[in-house]
Amino acid sequence: MNGWSVLDRFLRTDPRDAGCAEAMQMLHVYAELVASGAAAQQYPGIAAHLRACGPCGEDFEGLLAAVCDEAQ
Amino acid sequence: MQKALVDPARLDAESAEWLQALAGAGPRREAALARLHERLLRIARREAARRGPRLAISGPELDDVAHQAAADALLAITAKIGQFRGDSRFTTWAYKFVIFEVSAKIGRHFWRHPVVPLGAEDWDRLPARFGFDPAQQAEWRDLLAALRRAVDSELTPRQREVFVAIVLNDVPLDTLVLSLASNRNAIYKMVFDARRKLRASLAANGYLPDDSSRR
């Protein structure tokens, strides 16, 4: 990926983006859905947010790892 | 401690057991708190270790982050247990707290030990931040000059301050939250609006494809 596409991707915003507050509020529900392999399409705003927000995406990865570890 | 309001019949057996034990008193509750703390600490350690290498924190400092995060998460969980609605397993809801605590503590670490002064403004860092090849400067020089003009002309002073901190200085968003005495949602929204304005400006001037042509 070159600089143009990195910059373009950084500046591109998704109008469905739910924002940090809603993502943080629902993160445990969303993580369980993803961990169980169930469709998480019912939360498109959270999915869009987690793709764009580094800190929330990082929290999601950590929680997902904890949930998956628990399930094993 | 708040009392859990969720109907235990709606819960899986393990979550119901956690709630009953934590709502009780005496040795059963103490044992449940110790068990929960043990799990929170395990997750905090793993999460701190996962983030550590990228953050140049290691050893006792990282373990200290994990211990503080587990202790503070346990306090938050017992204080907010009345907010548990049973829409996930109890442990998933509880683990969210410890993940957030690790995030916050790492953000605080950077606030105390900034790699770059928060107010610094070195625009020469911009090409590297987006991975532009110095050998091809002729191709991207005009684009980044236009971006800098847009930062100066399109953003509010606060949006500009946040953009410079996050993009030029690579300040973690959670560190900026502390520095500006704000919250993650407010800072993210500010960056979101700044990104939208900057992209619109660059697209209007022909530097990036128009959004409408791609949707």
* Residues B177-193 pLDDT 10s: 988 999 999 999 999 99
- What pLDDT does residue B81 have? 94
**A 35-54 near B (Cβ less than 8 A):** 52-54
User: How many Cα atoms within 13 Å fall on the side-chain side of residue A27?
Assistant: 31
Q: Is A19 close to B189, i.e. CB distance below 8 A?
A: yes
The residue in chain B having the minimum alpha-carbon distance to the alpha carbon of residue A22 is: B185
Radius of gyration, CA atoms only, chain A: 13
pLDDT digits (tens, 9 = 90+) for B114-161: 666 666 788 888 999 999 999 888 889 999 999 999 999 999 999 999
Distances (CA, A) of A28 to A17, B47, B85, B90: 18, 16, 11, 9
**Mapping DSSP to helix (H, G, I), strand (E, B) and coil, where does residue B76 land?**
helix
Q: What is the rounded distance in angstroms from the CA atom of residue B46 to the CA atom of residue A46?
A: 25
Q: Domain-by-domain residue ranges, chain A?
A: 3-71
Residue type, B136: Q
ipTM for the predicted complex comes to 0.92
CATH of domain B123-213: 1.10.10.10
The owner of tokens 């304005």 is: B197
- What pLDDT does residue B115 have? 67
The residue in chain A having the minimum alpha-carbon distance to the alpha carbon of residue B102 is: A59
Q: Domain-by-domain residue ranges, chain B?
A: 8-112, 123-213
Question: Does residue B215 register a pLDDT over 50?
Answer: no
Interface contacts A/B by beta carbons within 8 Å:
110
Q: By the CB < 8 Å criterion, does A56 face chain B?
A: yes
Which among A2, A4, A55 has the least Cβ separation from residue B184? A55
Q: What is the rounded distance in angstroms from the CA atom of residue A33 to the CA atom of residue B174?
A: 26
pLDDT digits (tens, 9 = 90+) for A8-43: 999 999 999 999 999 999 999 999 999 988 766 789
**Chain centroid to CA B111: how far?**
14
